[in-house]
Amino acid sequence: MKSRALILIAALAGGPLAAESPLAGTWQGKLDGVPAVTLTVKEEGRGWSGTIVFYKIVDEGSGPQVAGKDTSVLVDPKREGKSLSFQVKHPNDALIGFRFELTGNGEGELKGKTTQTGGGGPPPIKMTKDR
C-alpha cells in the first residue's frame, strides 16, 4: 500500500497538475485583423524554447492578406520576470533581438530591439494567448 501511495505522489508532483508559467503557450499578434506573428513558448524544466512565425502581409487593393510566412527557432530565450527575451537568426546570419512582455491575463506585447546601426525597432505588436 505504501508503494502505491509513493507512486501516486511522484506522478502528481511532476504531472500535469504542475503550474505552467503564464509565458508558456501560443501567442497571436495581428495587424489590421490579419495574422502578423505567432509566438510559441515552451518551458522545459528550467529552460525555455520555442518558435516564432512572421507572416508576410500584402495589400493589392482588396485589403491586407497573408502572402507567406517565415518560421524561426528562438535563440537563447531567457525569462526576466514577466518577460521573455530572445533572438532570431536573420537569413544573413545576423541575430535580431526581441522581448515579449506580459501586459495582462492572456495579453502581451512583442517588441523588436533597436538595431546595431542605430535605427529604431519595429512598432510593438499586441499579442493574445490562444486558449
Residue 94: give its domain's CATH number. Answer: 2.40.128.520
In a domain, 15, yes or no: no
Please state which of the ranges 49-53, 60-64, 91-95 shows the lowest mean pLDDT. Answer: 91-95
Q: What is the pTM of this model?
A: 0.79
% of the chain residues with pLDDT over 90: 66
Q: What is the mean pLDDT of the chain?
A: 84
Q: Is residue 52 part of a domain?
A: yes
Domain count for the chain: 1
- The mean per-residue pLDDT over the stretch 70-94 comes to 93
In a domain, 67, yes or no: yes
Q: Is residue 39 part of a domain?
A: yes
SS3 string, the chain, reads CHHHHHHHHHHHHHCCCCCCCCCCEEEEEEECCEEEEEEEEEEECCEEEEEEEEEEEEECCCCEEEEEEEEEECEEEEEECCEEEEEEECCCCCEEEEEEEEEECCEEEEEECCCCCCCCCCCCEEEEECC
In a domain, 54, yes or no: yes
pLDDT, tens only, 91-115: 888 899 999 999 999 999 999 875 5
Q: What is the residue range of 115's domain?
A: 21-129
16 in any annotated domain? no
| Structural domain includes residue 70 | yes
